[in-house]
Amino acid sequence: MLAPAGRTTLAALGFVLLGCAQPAPAPPRTLVIAVTDATEAAAERLASFAQERIPGLTLRLRPGNAASALAALRRGDAAVALVDGEVAPSSDLTVIALGEEPVAIIANPANPIANASQELLAQLYSGRLQDWSEVGGPPGPIIPLTREEGDGARTAFERVILQGRTVTGRARLAPSERLMVQQVAAVAGAIGYVGLGAVDTRVKVVPLDMKRPGADSTYPLLRPVLLVTVARAESDVQALIQLAASEAGRAALQGEEENRSPAR
């Protein structure tokens, strides 16, 4: 009979059409990552990496410092914070350690200093030594540059180098790593410290106790890189955390992803 056969054909056609339907695309979502000037480049790499792997997700960066990043997180203005330095334990935050970055001691290329001990740096930054001639260099004022309180590099520097001593009032404040490098490059008697990733050819890296940052596994001046979120994070944030903490995610943060083989 023709009628039943027609109904069967239509039903079969409907089954084929349903079977071929494509899944609906993931709805667009945006997450804000609060960053510091030291973590901004790494956050950009993480954002590019994550957006390729989490459908529909866009990551937007909110620049600032560590204090403003954590404040934005607590206010709900950011879903994640990528910060350098130390974060005090808190019941309302989840902190994931992603690694450590060496903090390099930098000087003007015209400065003959070839190595600095921890004690020498402590005396330079506490103001006990004020002229380069006191340490065998040409006469000229020692101009230490430092970062603002709460900055990750400064926190590491104070913990490892100063060990309770106070930064001299003669120290100049550099509000970013870029400006720290710029000022050290421009002033012959200047000395400063930045994350190794911020160093460029305008300044020279001074070994610390004969150890070079990034080349010696026992280099002592390190700052942690932390991913921070609220204790009860939404699913997209949890997916981002898992991605960032993975081997491939850590490589992306460090800019190594393009050099990795796709399969082992």
In-domain check, residue 186? yes
pLDDT at 159 over 70: yes
In-domain check, residue 219? no
What pLDDT is recorded for position 17?
A: 47
pLDDT single digits (tens) 184-241: 999 999 999 999 989 999 999 999 999 999 999 999 999 999 999 988 878 899 999 9
> Do 187 and 109 share a structural domain?
yes
The answer to whether the beta carbons of residues 244 and 83 sit under 8 Å apart is no
Q: Give the total number of structural domains in the chain.
A: 2
Q: Spell out the long-range contacts of 85-89 with Cβ–Cβ below 8 A and sequence spacing 24 or more.
A: 85/150, 85/151, 85/152, 85/153, 85/155, 85/156, 85/223, 85/224, 85/226, 86/152, 86/155, 86/224, 87/226, 87/228
Confidence of residue 75 (pLDDT cuts 50, 70, 90): very high
In-domain check, residue 168? yes
In-domain check, residue 42? yes
Phi-psi region of 138 (alpha: psi -120 to 50; beta: other; left: phi over 0): beta
pLDDT at 263 over 50: no
In-domain check, residue 12? no
For residues 16-22, average pLDDT: 53
Confidence of residue 256 (pLDDT cuts 50, 70, 90): low
In-domain check, residue 45? yes
Q: Give the single-character DSSP code of 221.
A: -
Which of 162, 177, 206 terminates a domain? The answer is 206
Distance CA 192, CA 147 (A): 9
In the structure encoding, which two tokens stand for residue 50, read together? 């994550």
> Do 241 and 200 share a structural domain?
no
Burial of 38 (0-12, 13-18, 19+ CB in 10 A): buried
In degrees rounded to 5, what are phi and psi of residue 97?
A: -80, 125
Distance CA 112, CA 213 (A): 19
In-domain check, residue 75? yes
pLDDT single digits (tens) 244-254: 989 998 888 87
> Do 234 and 157 share a structural domain?
no
The answer to whether the beta carbons of residues 149 and 241 sit under 8 Å apart is no
What pLDDT is recorded for position 82?
A: 95
pLDDT at 16 over 80: no
pLDDT at 14 over 60: no
> Do 187 and 133 share a structural domain?
yes
> Do 92 and 108 share a structural domain?
no
The answer to whether the beta carbons of residues 82 and 42 sit under 8 Å apart is yes
CATH number at residue 71: 3.40.190.10
Query: What is the DSSP pairing of strand 190-195 with strand 222-230?
Result: unpaired
Cα angle 253, 63, 84; round to 5: 50
For residues 164-179, average pLDDT: 95
Instruction: State which residues form the domain around 241.
Output: 29-100+224-259
> Do 147 and 64 share a structural domain?
no
pLDDT single digits (tens) 30-47: 999 999 988 998 899 999
pLDDT at 3 over 80: no
Give the residue with greater pLDDT, 94 vs 20. 94
What pLDDT is recorded for position 221?
A: 97
> Do 62 and 131 share a structural domain?
no
> Do 158 and 247 share a structural domain?
no
Alpha-carbon Rg for the chain in angstroms: 26
pLDDT at 83 over 50: yes
> Do 57 and 46 share a structural domain?
yes
Q: What share of the chain is helix, strand, coil (3-state, %, to 5)?
A: 40, 25, 40
Sign of CA dihedral 214, 215, 221, 224: positive
**Other beta carbons less than 10 A from residue 233's beta carbon:** 15
In-domain check, residue 17? no
> Do 117 and 201 share a structural domain?
yes
30 three-state secondary structure: strand
How far is C-alpha 132 from the chain's CA centre?
A: 33
In the structure encoding, which two tokens stand for residue 93, read together? 């935050």
- Average model confidence (pLDDT) across the chain: 87
> Do 40 and 89 share a structural domain?
yes
> Do 178 and 109 share a structural domain?
yes
